[in-house]
Structure 1
Amino acid sequence: MKVLCLHGKGTSGAIFKSQTSSLRAQLAQKNIQFDFIDGPFKSEPAAGVDLFYPPPYYGFWERGSVDDIRSSCEWLREYISKHGPYDAVMGFSQGTILASAYLLFHEEETPHLPAPFKIAIFHCGGVSFQVLQELGFNITPAMHARDLASRNALASSASAEAILRMGTSRWQGDNSGGGLSEQAIRDEIRGPVQISIPTVHVYGTKDPRYAAGVQLSGVCDPAKRRCYNHGGGHEIPRQSTVTSALVELFEWAMDAVDEAC
């Protein structure tokens, strides 16, 4: 199995490789090749990242408009044509936004063709509201307001100052879900397109972007998705219990593909 790995904004392929080291170690006996790539744009470091990792840092776009995301999807398509095919995609934060947009555009524009991936693993990331609106989803002003608040809260909680002052306790659980249950958050997302391949959704209730991760699960086939709440912040925790759970989910997705073949 060949997995394309898409990092978060203001990090890099090397940083994402480090962030997933525990997961990959437990999958070492599997025949899996992980391909960690850098986004096409140089970037300032994500909040707090420069405390732990040296430059360079990258992103997949600079502004995040629909045109920007479409351009990045075309860049990704060209990369896959040269270096693929890939069986799976695994993204974190902005990498998840790119992967989900790429899959949704495929479902809307070329549903008669095979999906570009057989599996998607989404860590701590949502789906672009601009892309959803482009595809005919109804995104309310209240949803936009909560989404903006969650982005601002993430920038504050992940800052170097917060890390140095509070450590892991900086994740306060202000996840901007608006007091809604997971299912209610999913039910807000309704539209004409859904991601149809097996998907794994990993998020934490203390992550300011928690609701975004849940919303992404709402645009994926409920019969082919698995969700895991690790209870933490905007991160891939390395505790053994979390890693074991992620390994089981990865193996479930692999088995789902085998059963479909």
Structure 2
Amino acid sequence: MPRILCLHGKGTSGAIFKSQTSALRARLSDLQIDFEFVDGFYSSDPAPGIDLFYPPPYYSFWEQDNIEAVFHSRDWLVNYLRTNGPYDALMMFSQGCAVGSSTALLHLLEEPNQPLPFKAAIFICAGVPLRVLERVGYKIAPEVWDKDIVTRKALAAQADSSAILSQGSMRWQGEKGPRASEADVRKEIAPSNVQIDIPTVHIYGDKDPRWSAGIQLSQACNAGKRKMYNHGGGHEVPRTNEVTTSMAELVRWALREGAVI
């Protein structure tokens, strides 16, 4: 039975991520996958807007936005995988993606001759801390640091409870100003020899203010082993029939490519 460890976004929980992915998992029921949902190790305020739909408790994998916090979450995940594994794949959303991708990249930098402790990764509305990309050898253009701050603020505003109540799904407006192409975003991150070399799926929404962060993460993954999918929405786990069916097929692809199924 394949085992997939699932890492939630900041200010949510394993139980919330389980609810958010119920339709996706239903379309994979024939594979008899054991999806394991864990909680972050910090109690947290709810993510913007999440308290309208889900009661507490809420958790995060880090509260302070610094490299030390990332290292701490990496150490936690490595220990969790070692103690409770093996796991065949990770499925992650938002901050969970940052934890999983950081763990993979730092592993490849520090232990290049050792395989990753999982065979495939599914990233939903992802991003990787720029400090981690820089640490493993990627060159970050100065304007990317500025955009990172701006898009984080835009996400908080567009996901806020008042925006949900007043605008619903129309609140998702993506980035402010002229929109860069995917190719342009890839050029913002100069290559490194450190690259995630397992099958990866990158699910993003082009109305997500943080969509470019997902492209940046994909740039740190082997282009021959990655699949990109634009679900057309915002910073959310999409649940429409068409999109969920497409996401399920991508999960199947990653598990086949990783020799999990």
Q: Same fold (TM over 0.5)?
A: yes
Does the Cα contact within 8 Å between 1:90 and 1:120 map onto a contact in 2?
A: yes
Residue 13 of structure 1 pairs with residue 19 of structure 2: no
Compute the displacement of 1:236 (Å): 1.2
* Stretch of structure 1 that moved more, 167-176 or 187-196: 167-176
Compute the displacement of 1:175 (Å): 6.3
One-letter amino acid of the structure 2 residue matched with residue 61 of structure 1: W
Does the Cα contact within 8 Å between 2:201 and 2:227 map onto a contact in 1?
A: yes
Does the Cα contact within 8 Å between 2:141 and 2:189 map onto a contact in 1?
A: no
The SS at the match of 2:82 is helix
Q: Which residue of 2 aligns with 1:168?
A: 169
Compute the displacement of 1:258 (Å): 2.2
1:23 and 1:186 map into 2 onto residues whose CA distance is 29
* Counterpart mapping for 1:1-261 below 5 A: 1-174=2-175, 179-190=179-190, 191-258=192-259
* Stretch of structure 1 that moved more, 234-243 or 166-175: 166-175
1:242 and 1:197 map into 2 onto residues whose CA distance is 24
Deviation string 1:45-92 (CA, Å, 9 cap, x unpaired) is 000000100001000011121111111111111111221110000110
* Stretch of structure 1 that moved more, 151-160 or 130-139: 130-139
1:175 and 1:85 map into 2 onto residues whose CA distance is 42
* Stretch of structure 1 that moved more, 250-259 or 139-148: 250-259
The SS at the match of 1:258 is coil
Does the Cα contact within 8 Å between 1:200 and 1:253 map onto a contact in 2?
A: yes
One-letter amino acid of the structure 2 residue matched with residue 151 of structure 1: R
2:196 and 2:141 map into 1 onto residues whose CA distance is 21
Does the Cα contact within 8 Å between 1:203 and 1:210 map onto a contact in 2?
A: yes
Does the Cα contact within 8 Å between 1:198 and 1:256 map onto a contact in 2?
A: yes
Q: Percent identity?
A: 52
1:30 and 1:243 map into 2 onto residues whose CA distance is 16
2:226 and 2:22 map into 1 onto residues whose CA distance is 24
With normalisation by structure 2, the TM-score equals 0.96
One-letter amino acid of the structure 1 residue matched with residue 30 of structure 2: Q
* Stretch of structure 1 that moved more, 150-159 or 79-88: 79-88
1:19 and 1:145 map into 2 onto residues whose CA distance is 31
2:138 and 2:83 map into 1 onto residues whose CA distance is 33
One-letter amino acid of the structure 2 residue matched with residue 167 of structure 1: G
Compute the displacement of 1:218 (Å): 0.6
Compute the displacement of 1:195 (Å): 0.6
1:173 and 1:62 map into 2 onto residues whose CA distance is 24
Note the residue ranges of structure 2 that are not aligned, 5 or more in a row.
none
Give the aligned length. 259
One-letter amino acid of the structure 2 residue matched with residue 71 of structure 1: H
1:222 and 1:11 map into 2 onto residues whose CA distance is 31
* Stretch of structure 1 that moved more, 185-194 or 23-32: 185-194
One-letter amino acid of the structure 2 residue matched with residue 207 of structure 1: D
One-letter amino acid of the structure 1 residue matched with residue 181 of structure 2: S
2:111 and 2:162 map into 1 onto residues whose CA distance is 46
Does the Cα contact within 8 Å between 1:175 and 1:209 map onto a contact in 2?
A: no
Does the Cα contact within 8 Å between 2:45 and 2:58 map onto a contact in 1?
A: yes
1:187 and 1:254 map into 2 onto residues whose CA distance is 29
Check 1:153–1:74 CA distance in 2 against 1; reply closer, same or farther (3 A cut): same
1:124 and 1:192 map into 2 onto residues whose CA distance is 25
1:141 and 1:258 map into 2 onto residues whose CA distance is 40
Deviation string 1:166-198 (CA, Å, 9 cap, x unpaired) is 01110123367x532112212322223111110
Does the Cα contact within 8 Å between 2:209 and 2:235 map onto a contact in 1?
A: yes
One-letter amino acid of the structure 2 residue matched with residue 156 of structure 1: A
| Structure 1 segments of 4+ aligned residues over 2 angstroms from their partners | 173-176
* Stretch of structure 1 that moved more, 249-258 or 45-54: 249-258
